[in-house]
Amino acid sequence: MPIITVQLAKGRSSEQKQKFVEMITKEAAQTFDVKEEWVTEIFGEYA
C-alpha cells in the first residue's frame, strides 16, 4: 500500500532512522487505515 520515500543527508544513526520508521509507519497506517505491515519506507542518503 503506502510507499514512503525519505531522502536524508548522511550522518543519521541507525537508531534515529529506526525511530523515524516506527513513527512514520504507525502514523501512515492510522491515516490510510491499513495494517502497519503494508507500509514501506525507502531511505536514500546523500552527502
> What is the domain-level CATH number for residue 23?
3.30.429.10
- What's the domain range around 37? 3-46
Rounded Cα distance, 24 and 41, in Å: 8
For residue 7, what are the β-bridge partners?
A: 44
Question: Is pTM, for the whole model, over 0.75?
Answer: yes
- Pair 36, 26: CB distance under 8 Å: yes
For residue 16, what are the β-bridge partners?
A: none
Task: Give the position of cell 525511530.
Answer: 19
**The total number of structural domains that make up the chain:** 1
Query: So what's the pLDDT on residue 2?
Result: 95
Query: So what's the pLDDT on residue 1?
Result: 82
Rounded Cα distance, 7 and 30, in Å: 23
Supply the DSSP symbol for 12.
-
Query: Which tens digits make up the pLDDT trace of 1-47?
Result: 899 999 999 999 999 999 999 999 999 999 999 999 999 999 999 98
